[in-house]
Every structure is written in C-alpha cells, then in structure tokens.
Structure 1
Amino acid sequence: MIHEYQVTGMTCSSCVAKVQTALLTVPHVSSVVISKEEKKATIKMSEHIAVESLQTVLESRYSITELAPAVFANPVSTYVGVSPTVERKSLFETYKPVLLVFFYISLITSLVQLWNDSFSWMQWMQHFMAGFFLVFSFFKLLNLEGFADSYRMYDLIAKKFKGWPYWYAFIELGLGLAFLVNFNPLVTNLITFIVMTVSIVGVLQSVLNKRKIKCACLGAVFNLPMSTITIIEDGLMIGMSVFMILNHFLNN
C-alpha cells in the first residue's frame, strides 16, 4: 500500500536526505519518495503504519501528517497519486546531469588524444578517470553533509562508520589528482578498485531490492534515483582500474 504525507520543517537537500533515511528505518516501509518543493512524502509500506510511529523516528523539527486517503485506479497495482511528475520523466531527463558529466569528460579526454600524434587508450582511461573523480568529488564537496546523509542510506561502510562518507569524498578528490598527474599508477588503480568495489556492493543491494532511494554519486546537488545507471557508473571505474592493473603487470 502507498500513502502520502505532508512533511514540514525541510529546508534543504540535507533535510530531505535525513527525513528519507529516518523513514526507511521504520519496519514495513519499503520505499520513500520525498518532494521538498511540495513538502510531501510518498511512502510504500507492506502494512499500515500509524503516523505516530513515523513521527517517532524523525527529529523534532520535522512534522509529518497524513494527507487524504490514497485513490487507486486499479486495486492491484496502479496508484494514481504517486509522483506523477517522476513517472512522466524519460531516462535522459531523469539522469541528464550524470549523462552530461560523462559526455563532457569523454569529449575532453578524446580531444586530448586527437591532439596527440597517436591515440593512446591507456592515457585516455587515465584522463577519463581523473575527470570522473575530480568532477564527482566536486559535487559531493558542495554539500558534504547532504552527501553523507544520502550515502549512509545504502553504502555498507557508511552505515557502520558515520565518518566514512566524509573520507570517501576526499579519497575521490585524491584519486582524481593522482590520475591527473599519473602518480604511482599501480597503487592508484588498486585503491580505485578496492574503493569502488566496496561501493558497488551497497548499490547492487539497493537496486536488486528495488529500494527507491536517492543516489549520492553527484552529492546532494541533484535528486537522482538509484538505478542500473549507478551500477554502470561504478562498474566502469572498476573495469578500467582492472584493465590498467593488468596492463601494468603485462608490461613489467
């Protein structure tokens, strides 16, 4: 069943992440979609939950009240009131920020190679990974607290160690700089492989369990839903790091 609630007290993306994280801890809640603009939370639950139980997990500055009863167009599966604006969005509209980031990084790294005398795929990957980590860390650092709140919703380490998201953002920055200056490629790629492999486990769990939560890949700046796009993004970094590690040993 799906219910809609009015949530007051949210003033920023960090507030949205905190409310969403808290509501997802309530037993029988499977997904939470929040609109800061409409001050509304759409909650999918396996059985009815009292508003008092939802309020209990929220900080005192947030207040939640149930809206009008849900209207079902089809008693089996179709719910009229659930995020119609999201439903109408195409794949490109939903993930436009991250797709544009990948396009610009690919374009710049390709132009660098075309300017060279010969095209080097190894150098292309090195520059691509530098751009990836520098850009993605930049968006995380714009709102570090908001990123941390979103990242703790699905990352295995962040769930246990609250300080890990802050370290993670700066590790990405460090990896971006290391790839940019070609600092100790073997160590840089090994760290990339370990960090991204650990990160993708939480992503896979969330996607496979069909949890409707916010992806923290671009920090708290954009409201991107977790999906296979996130898996491809992390998998691409893992694949490139593995390729470069193998290339190192084959040429030494």
Structure 2
Amino acid sequence: MEHTYAVTGMTCAGCQYKVQTLLGKVSGVTDVDIDLDAGEAHVKMDHHVPTSDLQNALKEYPKYQLNEKQVSMPAMSAFEELAEKSWVETYKPILLIFGYIFVASMIAGATPIGFNEMLAMRIFMAGFFLVFSFFKLLNLEGFADSYAMYDVIARKFKGWGYIYAFTELALGLAYATNFQPVITNAVTFVVMSVSIVGVLQTVLSKKTIRCACLGAVFNLPMSTVTIIEDGLMIAMSAVMLVMLF
C-alpha cells in the first residue's frame, strides 16, 4: 500500500534526503519518494503504519512537519513551472556554459599550423570539468544529497557524492595541464560511464527529479539533456584514447 503525506519545512535537496532517510527507517515502510517541490512524501508500506510513527521519526528535526495529505487543488510545483517555459529557457544555464566552453576550445584548437582537434577536445574537457565542479563545490553537501537520489553508487554510499565533485575538479586540472592523458581519459571514461547508469534509470523511469550536474545552484530537471551531457564526455574521452594510441 502507498500513502501520500504533506511535509513542510523542506527547503533543499539536503532536507529531501534527510526526510527520505528518516522515514525509510520506520518499521513497515518499504520505500519513500519525496517530492520536494510539492512538499509531499509518498510512502510505501507492507502494512498500515500509523501517521504518528512517521511523525515520531522526524521529531528530532522539528522544522519538518508531516501530516496526512488533505485533498485540495495543488499549487504549481517548480517543475510544473518549468514545464511552462520553453526548452531553451529551462536549460539556458547549461546551454550558455557549453557555448562558452565550446568557443574557448575552438579558439585554443585554431593554431597557426592548422586546427588541432586533440587540443580543442582537451580544452573542452578541462573547461567542462572545472566549471561543473565549481558549481558542485558551491554547495557540496547539497550536491551530495541530490546526487544520492539517483546515482547508483551514491545511493549506497553518500560519500561518493563528495568524492565525485573533487574527482571532477582533479580531471579538469589534469586536462588543463595535459597530465598523463591516457590515465586521465581512461578515468573519465570509467567515471562518466558509471554516472550515466543512474541518469538513464531515472530518465527511463520518468521520475521527476532535480539534475545535480550543476550542483544545488540551479533547479534543472533530469532529462535527455543530462544523458547527452554524460554521453558526450564518454564519447570524447574514448576518441581521445584512440587518438593517443
């Protein structure tokens, strides 16, 4: 059976993760899905669990208040508001970032003796990882909480979210300095291949969830754009590995 409850006091992905974790520990609860924007907790249970038990699970965090869902006209959520926008308006932050990085990589690749594809790709990868790690590090805990909602490793080991942010930073610096290109591209291929698994699972299951690619700074929905983003990094690292041999 599944019941929906109204939860107030949640303001970020960290709150979402905390409430989901606490409710998931209640005896009889088999799964918890938190809709941060709607302020709802969808709780699956193998037998009836009193609302008081769920409320007690949150009692150490009084800012989170759980009550039975009242039937009413729901307010428009952040994701519903995004649906009112065009695709370009929704993904403007990512499009701008990719645009700037692409132009910089094209300029770097245009050498006096001809266009250097390897250099252009290396600069693109450096820019990608440095910029994306920057946004993650602005709110590292928020990113880790968001990442734990869908990544296959972070779901089991939340610490991977913290490690992943610094891994992106290290890869950005490695590409920028051309440090051990074979190792750098191999690590990129493996890390991004693992990352895309959780993204694919989320998108294919049609779950409405925030994308953590730009940390907790922007409210971007997980979509095929995220798949393309990860897939591009996988493809470019593979091409660069082939070119190095």
Sort the TM-score into its range (normalised by shorter chain): 0.7 to 0.9
Q: Are the aligned partners of 2:7 and 2:40 in contact in 1 as well (CA < 8 Å)?
A: no
Higher relative contact order (CA 8 A, sep 6+): 1
Q: Are the aligned partners of 1:24 and 1:32 in contact in 2 as well (CA < 8 Å)?
A: no
Deviation for aligned residue 1:209? 1.1
Q: Give the secondary-structure state (helix, strand or coil) at the position aligned to 1:159.
A: coil
CA distance in 2, matches of 1:209, 1:222: 22
CA distance in 1, matches of 2:87, 2:51: 34
Against the structure 1 CA distance between its residues 95 and 27, is the aligned structure 2 distance closer, same or farther, given a 3 Å change threshold? farther
Who is 1:5 aligned against?
A: 6
Of residues 40-49 and 127-136 in structure 1, the stretch that sits farther from structure 2 once superposed is: 40-49
Gaps of 5+ in 1: 72-79
Of residues 196-205 and 85-94 in structure 1, the stretch that sits farther from structure 2 once superposed is: 85-94
Who is 2:101 aligned against?
A: 105
Q: Are the aligned partners of 2:135 and 2:215 in contact in 1 as well (CA < 8 Å)?
A: yes
Q: Are the aligned partners of 2:13 and 2:36 in contact in 1 as well (CA < 8 Å)?
A: no
Q: Give the secondary-structure state (helix, strand or coil) at the position aligned to 1:193.
A: helix
Name the % identity.
Answer: 54
Given the alignment, which residue of 152, 160, 179 partners 1:164? 160
Q: Are the aligned partners of 2:145 and 2:158 in contact in 1 as well (CA < 8 Å)?
A: no
Who is 2:126 aligned against?
A: 130
Q: Give the secondary-structure state (helix, strand or coil) at the position aligned to 1:5.
A: strand
Of residues 159-168 and 16-25 in structure 1, the stretch that sits farther from structure 2 once superposed is: 16-25
Q: Are the aligned partners of 1:42 and 1:82 in contact in 2 as well (CA < 8 Å)?
A: no
TM-score (norm 1): 0.80
Q: Give the secondary-structure state (helix, strand or coil) at the position aligned to 2:155.
A: helix
| Count of matched residue pairs | 235
Given the alignment, which residue of 18, 36, 47 partners 1:34? 36
**What is the RMSD computed on CA atoms of the aligned residues?**
3.0
Gaps of 5+ in 2: none
Q: Give the secondary-structure state (helix, strand or coil) at the position aligned to 1:65.
A: strand
CA distance in 2, matches of 1:155, 1:136: 17
Q: Are the aligned partners of 2:110 and 2:116 in contact in 1 as well (CA < 8 Å)?
A: no
